Amino acid sequence: KEIRCSYLFSARYEIGTEDAKGKVSPQQQNVIDDAKNQAAVFGMEALERLEGERYSAGQVFVLYDRAKKSFQHISYQQIGDIIYNPDDSSEVWYVRRDWTATIVREDGSTAPLDHKFYYPTSTFTPKGGYVGRINNIQVDDTKRMIVDRVNVQPGGNLGIPDSFAAAPWALAYSAYLSD
């Protein structure tokens, strides 16, 4: 994984736009330069972590808060459900995030607090607007889940990690070494 990241990020990278100018606006640059966003998405350590997750898990989830203009990397372990377009399983419509936060009470003690929310993906914009609830769980349409899946097979829903190809070889070689 480290060799792969060193190769990918050995040179400087630039963020551009798709318009004719190719430059980001000052507002966009402020979002990129924000310390939280650097730690989550744009900084070198964040880029290496995200690439490592693509390599080892096959998918990356990043939550974008449109009001705060902030990004948050979401662990694959927090993904509780994924809803796809019923006519095209390559289109992800909603992602449910399940997580437990620790809250501090007024008396100083702590307690776990469970959360569940569905988020529309950054690529899904229904004509009639987003639904308010799915299976009685709130849809938070103030945020967007960015889903990046690699090596998705036709008809498949999830990505396959690049490291998966090495698994049979590693198992066979470890068996050879143990003999």
Q: What is the pLDDT of residues 16-54, one digit of tens each?
A: 566 656 677 788 888 888 889 888 888 888 888 888 778
* Segments of the chain with pLDDT less than 70: 1-22, 161, 163-164, 179
Q: What is the pTM of this model?
A: 0.78
Query: Which two tokens mark 85?
Result: 């377009």
Residue 107: per-residue pLDDT:
96
Residue 6: per-residue pLDDT:
46
Residue 76: per-residue pLDDT:
87
> What are residue 99's DSSP bridge partners?
115
Residue 124: per-residue pLDDT:
95
Distances (CA, A) of 34 to 11, 22, 67, 69: 22, 21, 14, 9
Distance CA 149, CA 157 (A): 9
Identify whether the C-beta of residue 68 lies closer than 8 Å to the C-beta of residue 58. no
Residue 15: per-residue pLDDT:
63
- CB atoms under 10 Å from CB of 26, counted, come to 7
Provide the mean pLDDT of the chain: 83
CA 169 from chain centre, in angstroms, equals 29
